Amino acid sequence: MASREPLGYVIDNSTPTRVRFVATDPPPPGDFVLVGEGEGVLALVEAVGTRSVSMSALSGVYEPSIVARLSRMSNDVFFECVAEVVGVYRDGALVLPRRPPLPGEPVYRAPDELLSEIFGGSEPYKVRLGVLAARPTVPVYIDVNKLVTRHLAILAVTGAGKSNTVAVIADRLVRIGGTVVILDFHGEYVGSDIGGGVNVVEPLLNPRSLSLSELLVLLGIEPHYYHQERVLRRAYERAIADPSGPFLERLLKAVESLRGKEEPRAVAAVANKVEALVEKYGDVLRDDVPDVISRLRPGRANVIDLGRLDEDAADVVVSHVLRRLLAERKRRVMTGHGFPSPVMVFVEEAHILAPRDRSTLSKYWMARVAREGRKFGVGLAIVSQRPKVIDQDILSQMNSKIVLRIVEPSDQRYVREASELLSEELAQNLSALNTGEAVVLGPIVPVPVIVRVDKYWGRKGGADPDVVSEWLSMREERARAAEAVAELAELARSG
């Protein structure tokens, strides 16, 4: 099944999981080879380096004039490659061989048809992500059930193609009937065509539906302010029990009614904070808005626009959505009522919402979704350009990862610690990836693979702004205005 001519030959020190081979015309990193005769062992090329026949023989001879002379010798250069063994493909599964390949065994380029069978697929159980970066003729599909039930992290430096990846996956999920929620920090997806046009959900919350913890964050009552927390808890219970009138007004009244019964400074502080809350978030917290879950449309991409919120408010909205989704999906599974569709939630700027060094509500609810979401059909995809700032637990619970270009070694190390499938050799490719290219790992793909993600074909707000043309058109505008002024002055003078 392999093409006739071997690319190269196995050398010494190979192991059952790692093949070292030499080649004169090497495959690019990210490509696949078949090792040995017969059906062959499939392996992913992770590293390719140059060698010189003469310099290997005369090791240590680096005198420039000798090197220059050697460089003119023909057939002096060859390549040494390292490939990670992926397995023998048999009956739709990859089985790891027990013995290492023997030195001298031939290495072939893996045929397109074999790779298409392994990485391809068809909707609706699989959706297309892109093509093999080293072999654009081979499409790569991802497993939808595993995507939703085992969660995903999309990581890369800024501008490497994270939002594009979100758009591609979200669009394809909606087109197979899926429900998507995108928590959009920069109003980036608001006007997009994802899934045939998105349902924009304003980040309005009914204060009555807020939990006590959510109110504590919004009010800025930190965990060690015991007295204030106690005042709020008592007032909250009273306000919740009384359905008449606007909730925050009743909450304030309930706080006031605790004067003389609770620590006076705590009562005054909480009263001030509730008043400040009304002033600051009055347009986000409204008694007339229905529960956020009832504003989500099944079978669509729902974009919750967090653009105008500060980080605390975004934390409350995101955690509220996750908490309510999980509860409504649980209710659906247990009672047949509740949110009708399994849902995939994408959270941009995950390092702000689930930071390593602080506890936030969103972090707590992301961890809950990561643990319990699979039973109830709530999938989570976190997106970030600062992986090392994300909580390590949450990052490792995102079982699948799409890692686009990452340059900083400390970020690479952090991602590697959270992903057992990311070998050191594969991680070394991360800084050399082009825009849109990604190492994809975890249950969504049969084996780790380097993919060129498709470019989202529709309208998405995420493209880099064309700064120069904005400046040019402003300059033209100014020139036109100056001309108009000059014309008017001329008219005034002549008239």
Residue 377's binding partner among Mg ion, ligand ATP, none (Cβ under 5 to 8 angstroms by kind) is none
Q: Which is nearer to ligand ATP, 229 or 349 (CB)?
A: 349
State whether the Cα torsion 301-304-307-311 is positive or negative. negative
What residue is closest to ligand ATP based on CB? 436
Q: For residues 367 and 371, what is the distance between their CA atoms, to the nearest angstrom?
A: 6
User: Hunting for tokens 């969504």 — which residue is that?
Assistant: 444
**Residue with smaller CB distance to ligand ATP, 26 or 436:** 436
Query: Quick one: what does residue 431 bind among ligand ATP, Mg ion, none, with the CB cut-off 5 to 8 Å set by partner type?
Result: none
By CB under 6 A, the residues from 387 to 446 that bind ligand ATP are 435-436
Pick between residue 91 and residue 464 the one whose CB is nearest to ligand ATP. Answer: 464
**Span 150-189, contacts to ligand ATP by CB under 6 A:** 156, 158-164
**Restricting to residues 96-115, which ones interact with Mg ion according to CB under 5 A?**
none
Q: Which of 8, 88, 161, 163 binds Mg ion (CB under 5 A)?
A: 163
Q: Please, which residue, 14 or 384, has the CB nearer to ligand ATP? A: 384
Site size for ligand ATP (CB under 6 A):
16
Q: Give the residue among 149, 148, 131 at the shortest CA–CA distance from 140.
A: 131
List all residues 6 or more positions away from 284 whose beta carbon is below 8 Å from its beta carbon. Answer: 203, 204, 205, 309, 313, 317
Specify the 3-state DSSP secondary structure of 108. Answer: strand
Contact flag: residue 384 with ligand ATP (CB under 6 A): no
What are the helix (H) ranges across 51-98?
A: 53-57, 64-71
Which of Mg ion, ligand ATP, none is residue 371 near (CB under 5 to 8 Å by kind)? none
CA distance 370 to 363: 10
- Strands of 343-347's sheet in order across: 135-143, 126-132, 449-453, 437-441, 400-403, 152-155, 378-384, 343-347, 179-184, 301-305, 199-201
Q: Are 163 and 348 in contact (CB under 8 A)?
A: yes
Q: By C-beta, is 120 or 462 nearer to ligand ATP?
A: 462
Contacts of 9 (CB under 8 A, 6+ apart): 21, 22, 23, 103, 104, 105, 106, 107
Find which of Mg ion, ligand ATP, none residue 96 binds, CB within 5 to 8 Å per kind. Answer: none
Please state the closest distance from residue 144 (CB atom) to ligand ATP, in A.
20
**245 binds ligand ATP per the rule CB under 6 A:** no
d(CA 165, CA 436): 8
User: Which tokens belong to 34?
Assistant: 């078949």
161 binding partner (options ligand ATP, Mg ion, none; Cβ < 5 to 8 Å by kind): ligand ATP
| Least Å from the CB of residue 310 to Mg ion | 20
The yes or no reply on residue 463 touching ligand ATP (CB under 6 A) is yes
Q: How far are the Cα atoms of 88, 101, 111, 448 from residue 36, in angstroms, in the given order?
A: 11, 7, 14, 21
Least Å distance between CB 177 and ligand ATP? Answer: 24
Contacts to ligand ATP by CB under 6 A: 156, 158-164, 385, 435-436, 453, 455, 462-464
Contacts to Mg ion by CB under 5 A: 162-163
